[in-house]
Structure 1
């Protein structure tokens, strides 16, 4: 994330850490070059468009540099792409506060300029401050945000997949025709949240639709992820939870007509490596010395200050004492975990199952269990230290994984991010976006013959309804 304190709060203070350089172009160019040399598939860029102000208010977030100041992740990609050939980039962008037409052009531009090396992490935003930044009194109701996201994605599919035929750009110098008008169409979308005429402003790009990432948590979020996402971030406190989450998501995808085998599942993994166990443990101790428990509570939007309670009582009891419901602390740790155990976990930044400290062999052993027994497809490597975390992966962990045959062949110039992850450049036919690239009709520009408030004739209304049903079938 383009900020000082993203997840491992307080670590920016470590003398050799470069997190404070997030506003320098050179920092991102160096990071991209290192990631590509390490054989990474992609750099994943998180984002929020508000502040964490529930615990400690604005003062705490600013004092700790906790995701504020924070740069626009989409603006970082062209610079990093210019100094790399195979590295992919996935950026977070919200469907709740900015219109789809403008975002469609922005993402298509990135897909074109990177030669198909971009992905999008679809989020709906959850910070109340974010809602207030866009003129609302508070955040939209949870399920309505996902309803809006579903339509937002449908608009994008119409623009990305259905507005231009593949061969629309003909570049015919003799006839002075750059684009064949018969191969481009308006989308004329009219829905509950958006009205978009189109056409899309960018010609077909290498992937058309960027690789779609999404995290799941709620049952409503799972439905949206199962319908749209190709790469899904999951978690779980136990192997059984992880396997169950994967199974539920695949089943929901199948119920929505998708091939469940096409979904990929990733976890955020914390890996701290050393040439010896002693070296790895010393590194862990050095990181822990800088870790901020206050920062963790701010980031978690905690309703209570766990440090103020008897460590022996449970989270549920602490919430009850403070008159709070389940809340973020209850959802994160469960109500039966003791306050002391929760604080110990926070202070050690041990996120449970997907955390390994040790030699390259010990870390590779853990990764193989996660891959083979939990059923994940890969990891999103948590960054503790810039650039020690990445360098340790490159020099210690990756060689051992490669020796065991656990890493794919090196990416090739010209390979899209989707091809790297799934073996194809475009979304599969079972994806809901695919309907937009079939049955391409001649362009139908909107006519302005009727008065602005006039109702359509019954025949025209019937035709418009038929077109909508066709587009959503």
Structure 2
């Protein structure tokens, strides 16, 4: 049933943004070393209270959701190989906790907040992961999304792949393609929508449960699945964050949300345009079927001077060594090989040069063109990491958000913190009311006709597609998972016949 909006109409020509908090089970996240700031509590990430308090704050601010990142090994390229000293000393995404563990507690103290959780396709068998994902989605009444990653750290592969090296990039995405197809089959093709009957002494009808019998290059998963269908959201929202050629193709085929990190709205607009074009031309997915988010760190002051002062103060707590550990881990290039004052774009390898061509990050008050030295890059990472910093008054930050939206066409933002929870508190108290005043963000969570909270997918798409006959809690017909759903009333034979026909039509690995 389509949601009924309680929002005031947005101003003409302005889209209502999707806002997520970007978090991880670690201290500092995109601000290495700022756990030392007297107002920061991010070192309490390993407590339940940290997550429940944050979730209640975000729901009070009407955030769409909480996006939880993850890494599966330490950043050990800097001064390496296999040297994690800088990451450990600075707390640069080390130590960490597993992201799904905080969701149930956070969901229990909220009604509307959605949760995007990062899981890697190299971390465990798809069957075991599907059970965890399905359980979370059931327990939250359909508020879960899966951020699909294929991993990029050798330190993770050594422990997860029996000591083997991380496979080549293209192979990781090929494996991820099969992995996600197994997930689709388990969620959608093993149990029919009406398999759970709870009548005449029958809990679940075995005639409405089937093995998926998947046999592929990497996985052999016969099934059947052990979780029943979620009537609130048949499949968790699919999120993706890769912007390589393979990543763009994967996103264009599967993603409902794409998370991008760039330093200029022009570069962001190009990334969005590229993925939309692939989605449309290669996979037949229409305009509006993918939402795009950009990472930002807002620093808000009552005046511009106060915001600049806060930025400088935050930067003074940043850990330069930790920042270099992050940079080296992100790029795979040990930045310690360069002198601090050396212009890396002039002396670096082709790989680092190509990365730095995209490095247009500009600190508040900084000149337009600054040499990209090791010292300069590390200092910039200490606040905002891989994303831009918007330091201004609430109105000034809103102006910058509008500029990025106007230039890039982005649908929303992943907002991360410099100091936790102060950054999020300032966003809720000052920035969101400013965005609401401009018609850029909803006034409240919409209601459904039956009074239940929205699922994650309905938050993203429900109101925009309510005039069609589609189920707002399921993927669009153009999505590769759409035909895999065993619908109520279909016999096993009817479903398998339809599945075979649709598998040939889509040329996907879906036929048992």
- CA apart distance, 1:220: 1.0
Aligned counterpart for 1:379 among listed residues 399, 406, 413 = 413
User: Are 1:10 and 2:10 an aligned pair?
Assistant: no
Q: Please provide the CA RMSD for this pair.
A: 2.7
User: Which residue is equivalent to 1:449?
Assistant: none
SS in 2 for 1:226: helix
- CA apart distance, 1:199: 1.6
2: CA distance, partners of 1:62 / 1:352: 20
**After the TM superposition, which residues 66-85 of structure 1 pair with which residues of structure 2 at under 5 Å, given as runs?**
66-85=92-111
Q: Structure 1's 63 and 180: CA in aligned 2 closer, same or farther, altered over 3 A? A: same
- Structure with the greater relative contact order (CA < 8 A, sep ≥ 6): 1 or 2? 2
Q: Structure 1's 436 and 89: CA in aligned 2 closer, same or farther, altered over 3 A? A: same
User: Which residue is equivalent to 2:67?
Assistant: 44
Aligned counterpart for 1:252 among listed residues 264, 278, 303 = 278
Aligned counterpart for 1:91 among listed residues 83, 97, 117 = 117
Aligned counterpart for 1:442 among listed residues 492, 496, 499 = 492
User: Which residue is equivalent to 1:389?
Assistant: 423
TM value normalised by structure 1: 0.88
2: CA distance, partners of 1:33 / 1:68: 26
1: CA distance, partners of 2:424 / 2:112: 17
1: CA distance, partners of 2:118 / 2:249: 19
**Runs of at least 5 residues in structure 1 that lack an aligned partner in the other structure:** 320-324, 445-461
Q: Is the 8 A contact 1:436 1:471 kept in 2?
A: no
SS in 2 for 1:432: coil
User: Which residue is equivalent to 1:300?
Assistant: 327
Tell me how many residue pairs correspond in the alignment. 447
Aligned counterpart for 1:425 among listed residues 459, 473, 495 = 473
SS in 1 for 2:492: coil
User: Which residue is equivalent to 1:448?
Assistant: none
1: CA distance, partners of 2:263 / 2:505: 47
Q: Structure 1's 443 and 202: CA in aligned 2 closer, same or farther, altered over 3 A? A: farther
Q: Structure 1's 470 and 130: CA in aligned 2 closer, same or farther, altered over 3 A? A: closer
1: CA distance, partners of 2:478 / 2:185: 16
Q: Structure 1's 334 and 373: CA in aligned 2 closer, same or farther, altered over 3 A? A: closer
User: Which residue is equivalent to 1:404?
Assistant: 438
Instruction: Provide, for residues 411-439 of structure 1, a one-character-per-residue CA deviation record: whole Å limited to 9, x for no partner.
Output: 24521111111112111111000120168
- CA apart distance, 1:136: 3.1
Q: Is the 8 A contact 1:118 1:211 kept in 2?
A: yes
- CA apart distance, 1:333: 4.6
Instruction: Provide, for residues 441-468 of structure 1, a one-character-per-residue CA deviation record: whole Å limited to 9, x for no partner.
Output: 6279xxxxxxxxxxxxxxxxx99x9899
- CA apart distance, 1:288: 0.8
SS in 2 for 1:233: strand
Q: Is the 8 A contact 2:343 2:373 kept in 1?
A: no
**After the TM superposition, which residues 165-204 of structure 1 pair with which residues of structure 2 at under 5 Å, given as runs?**
165-172=192-199, 175-204=200-229
Aligned counterpart for 1:316 among listed residues 337, 345, 357 = 345
Q: Is the 8 A contact 1:109 1:202 kept in 2?
A: yes
Q: Is the 8 A contact 1:184 1:443 kept in 2?
A: no
**Runs of at least 5 residues in structure 2 that lack an aligned partner in the other structure:** 1-23, 361-368, 463-471, 495-499
- CA apart distance, 1:4: 1.8
More deviation, 150-159/434-443: 434-443
Instruction: Provide, for residues 178-200 of structure 1, a one-character-per-residue CA deviation record: whole Å limited to 9, x for no partner.
Output: 11222222111111111111122
